[in-house]
Amino acid sequence: MEEDGLAALRAKRMQELQGQFGAGDPDEQKKRKQQQEQQQEMLHSMLSQILDQNARARLNSIALVKPEKAKQVEAMLITMAQRGQIADKMTESQLVGLLEQVSGKSQKTTVKFERRRVMDSDSD
């Protein structure tokens, strides 16, 4: 009898966990996937209205290397468009300026070489 109760508790807990992580209902997974696809499609259509072709290509290449930075810039662009700060399609040079603002000039990498000085005993 204890084993039946234990098995029932395990089954109940497994259902709760599956509900939390979305591993339960396949219909819910399909709905979530469709919602994510719709959101991505809306994002891409908005960005294609905001950016010209060259700027869009640059943003896509940035997304391959630094996806988190690309997401940040995309969110910034959409916010700017919603506020009316972008009148015409943004060109590649304007996007580069925006990227510089996001990354900041302070993150410029510099390399400094220090050569070791050799002490020569003959020169004394």
* Tens digit of each residue's pLDDT (9 = 90 or more) over 32-57: 899 999 988 988 888 888 899 999 99
Q: What is the pLDDT of residues 7-34, one digit of tens each?
A: 888 888 888 777 766 555 678 888 889 9
Residue 77 is assigned to a structural domain of this protein: yes
With beta carbons less than 8 A apart as the criterion, state whether 101 and 69 touch: no
For the chain, what is the radius of gyration of the CA atoms?
Answer: 27
Structural domain harbouring 56:
51-102
3-state secondary structure 29-57: HHHHHHHHHHHHHHHHHHHHHHECHHHHH
Q: Are 96 and 69 in contact (CB under 8 A)?
A: no
pTM over the 0.75 mark: no
Question: Which backbone phi and psi does 90 adopt, to 5 degrees?
Answer: -80, 135
Q: Residue 90 corresponds to which amino acid?
A: M
Q: How many domains does the chain have?
A: 1
Does the residue 86 lie in any domain?
yes
> Is the per-residue pLDDT at 98 higher than 90?
no
Residue 117, domain member (yes or no)? no
